[in-house]
Amino acid sequence: MNVMIMAGGTGGHIYPAAAVANQLQERGHTIRWLGSSYGMEGKLVPEMGYEFCALPVTAWHGSRLRKVLAPFNLIRALWHCMFIFRREQPDVVIGFGGYASAPGGIAALLTRRKLLLHEQNGVPGLTNARLAGRADRVLQAFPDTFSGSVEVVGNPVRNALCQLSSPDKRGLGTHRNLRVLVLGGSQGAVAINQLVPAAVSQLSQGSVEIWHQTGAGKQHETEAAYRDLSLEATVVEYIDRMDEAYRWADLVIARSGASTVSELAAVGVYSLLIPYPWHKDQQQYRNARWLADNQAANWFDQQELTPDRLAAELIALNKDRKKLQAGAKRAWQIGIRDSAERVARVAEELISKQEVS
């Protein structure tokens, strides 16, 4: 089976798509990847070992000139897609979002390719929302993203995370000091990087251990924030082995992007979430509420969260380890660890039905 993956723009689209691509490749299928020549996928996908089909497409929003040119750029990208599809002859096209998914999805419909969409967020992206009514199948990570009977398959996460043992077997919450993993995100969430050191400074000396991932270019200033408060912390820009980080942690403080929330559930760890407040559709609030409604997290509005309030929450959780353990267990129970396999199976089903008919 020839599979065309469409994903790009952000890691939130690319990494779930990569997990599905890996699963499909292991099943013996041929993978090609359609993406923007200007996006991060142009670098990441070839490094993963997949053939990359580049489109000259960028964001449709932004400056006034970009908005004026958007229809013309879409038509140009669409013609590129039509040529690529005729050359590569994909049996199924799987869209995960990103700038290339719009022309790619339209091209799939025009050339009568099987089109499968996966939506990672609790609020559908513009491209998936527009294409959903015409796609052969639509899958969603969270309940109620789309109306109607749309299958919930979770978000594909890295295989190493799915191999972690359950929270009780990891000894979560049994360490003398509370182990707090702080995720500032790939771009570096300044609010989190500033807030956490100020909050930790109010806790008893040596009552917590901090492993703080700051994001690009934020390590030195965050190290300085801890140092100025006479605090010890492990501060890094990136964490390559997230499975080791999650295995170590009793508690996670993070944004509530779809991939992060799905990982927290898949590995089974309680979290304090601070949704990114500037998205137009407020998607991170919806993601955070999904975990919180299942008693697997607590979330705070960034505009209202102070170091004092965060410190009080950390102190309470350090005293009430049973709440941490119960929350981690709830996260584990709602986590979907075979999401990549589920998406791969649906893709295979589409082709099987086509061959039968």
Residues at the annotated binding site? 10-12, 121, 158, 186, 239, 284
Contact 153, 339 (CB under 8 A): yes
Q: What is the DSSP letter of 40?
A: T
Cα–Cα distance, 231 to 205 (Å, whole number): 8
DSSP-assigned beta bridge partners for residue 299: 273
Contact 111, 82 (CB under 8 A): yes
Phi-psi region of 154 (alpha: psi -120 to 50; beta: other; left: phi over 0): left
Binding site residue list for UDP-N-acetyl-alpha-D-glucosamine: 10-12, 121, 158, 186, 239, 284
Dihedral angle of Cα 135, 139, 145, 150, to the nearest 10 degrees: 80
- Residues in the chain, how many? 357
Q: In what order do the strands lie in the sheet with 137-140?
A: 51-55, 30-36, 2-6, 92-95, 114-119, 137-140, 151-152
Cα–Cα distance, 100 to 56 (Å, whole number): 9
Q: What single string gives the DSSP state of each residue in 97-139?
A: -STTHHHHHHHHHHTT-EEEEEE-SSS--HHHHHHTTTSSEEE
Measured in whole angstroms, the distance separating CA 338 from the mean position of its chain's CA atoms is 15
As given in the structure block, the two tokens for residue 3 are: 């599979």
Cα–Cα distance, 295 to 278 (Å, whole number): 25
Helix extents (H) in the chain: 11-26, 41-48, 64-88, 101-110, 126-131, 159-162, 167-170, 190-200, 219-228, 242-248, 258-267, 283-293, 307-319, 321-334, 339-356
